[in-house]
């Protein structure tokens, strides 16, 4: 298990901000910088355009971009870590940040703050989220939260009136079961994806039940009873006719490609993702998408959190850390570059950038901002990054949950097996 303790939220923040107020020194060293991210066609187009802008403004630095789909990104990164040839700047998610810090793949940014890296106008919450054990490791490139998207045309054809029959910011699993079945009956399209094997949805459900995925000592939080109730909740929606068949949903377990999601393929009317993916998934569809939070239990305890959508981090293999952090700084501060990036990676954490973007928001981007406005006060507190081994726990959940979807094993049997395996993974991590 990692020897890192849980994040110290306030300890380092003051010193980091004090450094942030320092002036930026001139930088004239010639350097080649590699930036690696997981993306989609829309993200790739924007990021490559931003790199062109940076290279044009900084002739002594040449940034090159490398991108892969999410499913292959971390596999390649693992190979690069082993080979000692990681790109200088990598994109990271909150869920795996702790693990990459623990194995030394990413390095602290503190020595560059106030020099090549300007964080003076970055939100304090974003700085806190990137701070672990008193050191600042990760620069937030947008805020994010879980979002359900629904096909407004199919909902209208089913006679479901948003705001009357369906409250996108406060509906229960029982209500979802009724709505999903109504959509299927009226349109022939199942009303929702089946999230039995969706770990993100399970994480929300766990918090809604009063637990956390990980305890303060990095042990696993959900009990077998919580896992069983989660599987049974989605079984009820499936049995009501509101989801595709279990075998069909099993085939999508772990698939993150937006083009394969049910609301895009027309195999369901509702899909669950991260809010920063709204722009990308709407770009794949003609029908307008509505935005909603994830469903809740009858107690309506908040389960979703607002967290950084992604970070950019400096790797241990960078030969030009000053140039790399100068690029990272421009990525979140330069108004020409952030104008191109827009909200594709989430709501920016830099106050001047948000103000500059407001007049130019597209209709779908404005929808994303409206969603963030409406979830205020309805989300749970952000917990510290998951411990080492959390990625394997997630993969184990998805693999075992497929057995429930296929009817191969009972819910209680799978739940017991999963909790045992999760605890064992964390003990040896």
Give the per-residue pLDDT at 248. 95
> Which residues of the chain register pLDDT less than 50?
1-26
Give the per-residue pLDDT at 365. 87
Distance, CA of 341 to CA of 82 (rounded, Å): 31
Give the per-residue pLDDT at 25. 45
Please give the structure tokens belonging to residue 154: 């199919």
Give the per-residue pLDDT at 29. 54
Distance, CA of 359 to CA of 352 (rounded, Å): 13
Q: What is the DSSP string of 211-258?
A: --SB-TTS-B---HHHHHHHHHHHHHHHHTT-S--HHHHHTTTT---G
* pTM metric for this prediction: 0.74
Give the per-residue pLDDT at 355. 87
In which element (H, E) is residue 131 found?
A: strand 131-132
132 phi, psi to nearest 5 deg: -130, 130
Q: Are 386 and 95 in contact (CB under 8 A)?
A: yes
Give the per-residue pLDDT at 179. 98
Give the per-residue pLDDT at 186. 98
Distance, CA of 290 to CA of 192 (rounded, Å): 13
Give the per-residue pLDDT at 8. 43
Give the per-residue pLDDT at 96. 85
Please give the structure tokens belonging to residue 50: 């931003």
- Paired with 139 in beta bridges are 312
CB neighbours of residue 165 within 10 Å: 15
Place of tokens 């380092």: 12
Give the per-residue pLDDT at 419. 98
Give the per-residue pLDDT at 44. 95
């Amino acid at each position: 298990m990692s020897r890192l303790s849980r994040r110290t939220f306030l300890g380092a923040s003051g010193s980091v901000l004090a450094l942030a107020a320092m002036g930026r020194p001139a930088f004239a060293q010639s350097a080649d910088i590699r930036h690696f991210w997981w993306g989609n066609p829309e993200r790739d187009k924007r990021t490559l355009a931003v790199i062109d802008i940076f290279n044009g403004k900084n002739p002594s630095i040449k940034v090159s971009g490398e991108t892969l789909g999410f499913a292959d990104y971390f596999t390649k990164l693992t190979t690069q870590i082993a080979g000692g040839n990681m790109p200088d700047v990598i994109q990271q998610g909150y869920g795996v940040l702790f693990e990459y810090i623990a194995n030394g793949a990413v390095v602290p940014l503190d020595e560059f703050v106030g020099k090549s890296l300007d964080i003076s106008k970055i939100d304090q919450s974003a700085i806190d989220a990137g701070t672990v054990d008193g050191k600042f490791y990760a620069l937030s490139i947008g805020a994010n939260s879980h979002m359900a998207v629904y096909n407004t045309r199919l909902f209208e054809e089913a006679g479901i009136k948003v705001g009357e029959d369906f409250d996108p910011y406060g509906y229960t699993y029982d209500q979802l079961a009724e709505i999903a079945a109504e959509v299927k009956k009226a349109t022939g399209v199942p009303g929702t994806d089946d999230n039995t094997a969706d770990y993100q949805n399970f994480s929300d459900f766990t918090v809604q039940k009063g637990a956390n995925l990980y305890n303060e000592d990095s042990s696993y939080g959900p009990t077998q009873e919580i896992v069983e109730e989660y599987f049974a909740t989605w079984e009820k929606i499936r049995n009501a006719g509101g989801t595709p068949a279990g075998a069909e949903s099993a085939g999508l377990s772990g698939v993150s490609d937006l083009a394969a999601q049910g609301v895009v393929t027309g195999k369901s009317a509702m899909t669950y993702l991260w809010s920063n993916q709204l722009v990308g998934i709407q770009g794949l569809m003609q029908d307008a998408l509505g935005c909603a939070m994830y469903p809740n239990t009858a107690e309506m305890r908040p389960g979703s959190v607002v967290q950084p959508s992604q970070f950019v981090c400096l790797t241990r293999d960078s030969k030009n850390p000053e140039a790399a952090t100068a690029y990272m700084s421009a990525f979140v501060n330069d108004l020409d570059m952030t104008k191109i990036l827009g909200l594709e990676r989430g709501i920016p954490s830099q106050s001047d950038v948000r103000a500059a973007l407001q007049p130019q928001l597209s209709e779908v981007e404005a929808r994303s901002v409206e969603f963030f406005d409406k979830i205020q006060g309805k989300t749970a507190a952000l917990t510290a990054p998951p411990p080492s081994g959390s990625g394997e726990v997630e993969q184990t959940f998805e693999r075992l949950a497929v057995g429930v979807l296929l009817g191969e094993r009972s819910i209680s049997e799978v739940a017991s097996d999963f909790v045992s395996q999760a605890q064992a993974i964390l003990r040896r991590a």
